[in-house]
Amino acid sequence: MLLKPFQFKQFTIAQDRCAAKIGTDGVLLGAWTSLEHHPVSILDIGTGTGVIALMLAQRSAAQTIDALELDEDAYEQASENFEASDWGDRLFCYHAHLYEFATEIDEQYDLIVSNPPFYEAPSLPSASLLEGENPMSVSRKNARFDSAMPFELLLGAVQNLLSPDGRFSVILPYNREKEFIELAQNGGLLPRRIAQVQGTPTSEIKRSMMEFGFREPASPGGRSILNPVIKDHLIIEKSRHEYTEEYTSLVKDFYLKM
């Protein structure tokens, strides 16, 4: 059965050829990512359907919004989603491995975002199929498990591609927050904002959205000061299908029924 496109308020996402479908994580990150520094250039690493790049195109006046996708089917579908939107002239998708892209491109970006694969797996056949395994199952693994894009590779690429005053936003499982922050700090990326996400008031914290930068913002007097990390807490639902005001305010410009 053909999967129907996902209709947002200002754009449509076809996703039938993508292993990673539209989900809460990507929409949360696309809505939460700060644009207060008015980025001119944006990069979405591991774009999948292209939903985060499209959300940032809707929210910003950035002249360049690039996306990177390794899986060929997802790359083609994201490109088509971009072309079908009102912002096709600002959106472009690259079909390449992150290491290749980060080491060969000369450009730096004011904002980098990523909803990376993050489930831990002991091994992952990313380049070849196991006997009896179909291509979509491998694509699904690449979309889910961190061996397809290790945190060290992602952070190394960000360190190379992010402009000195740029920002990097990512969403991960809460139980990997500390690990990721330590790896980022080893490469000079400092946490600036963290939002921890719960499904309901009584459920466990499931996700962490984090923003990083290379340095602390300057004080009004021009001196660089050590600011505490801004920490927020987001609960999605009060009860089943009864959404909190904070979540509704965050995503209301995108979801049709919000």
Q: What is the pLDDT of residues 100-122, one digit of tens each?
A: 999 999 999 999 999 998 655 54
Report the distance separating Cα 135 and Cα 122, nearest Å.
20
pLDDT number for residue 138:
45
Please give the domain boundaries of the chain with CATH numbers for all domains.
22-119+134-251 (3.40.50.150)
DSSP assignment of 46-85 equals S-TTSHHHHHHHHH---SEEEEEE-SHHHHHHHHHHHHTS
pLDDT number for residue 127:
38
Strands 64-69 and 91-95: parallel
pLDDT number for residue 148:
65
Beta-ladder partners of 195: 209, 232
3-state helix, strand, coil in the chain (%, to 5): 30, 30, 40
pTM of the model: 0.86
pLDDT tens digits for range 84-95: 999 999 999 999
Averages of pLDDT over runs of 10 residues in the chain (258 residues) are: 86 93 95 97 97 98 97 96 98 96 94 83 42 45 54 96 97 96 95 97 96 73 66 94 95 94
pLDDT number for residue 54:
98
pLDDT number for residue 140:
44
pLDDT number for residue 124:
42
Report the distance separating Cα 208 and Cα 27, nearest Å.
14
pLDDT number for residue 240:
86
Residues 74, 48 contacting (CB under 8 angstroms): yes
Provide the token pair at 132: 């009896």
Q: Residue 166 is which amino acid?
A: G
pLDDT number for residue 216:
60
Residues 187, 156 contacting (CB under 8 angstroms): yes
Residues 227, 214 contacting (CB under 8 angstroms): no
Q: 188, 50, 180: which is closest to 120 by C-alpha?
A: 180
H/E run at residue 138: helix 135-144
Residues 143, 114 contacting (CB under 8 angstroms): no
Provide the angle, in degrees to the nearest 10, between the axes of the packed helices 72-83 and 51-59.
30
pLDDT number for residue 117:
86
Phi, psi of 211 (to 5 degrees): -120, 135
The gap from C-alpha 152 to its chain's centroid, in whole angstroms, comes to: 16
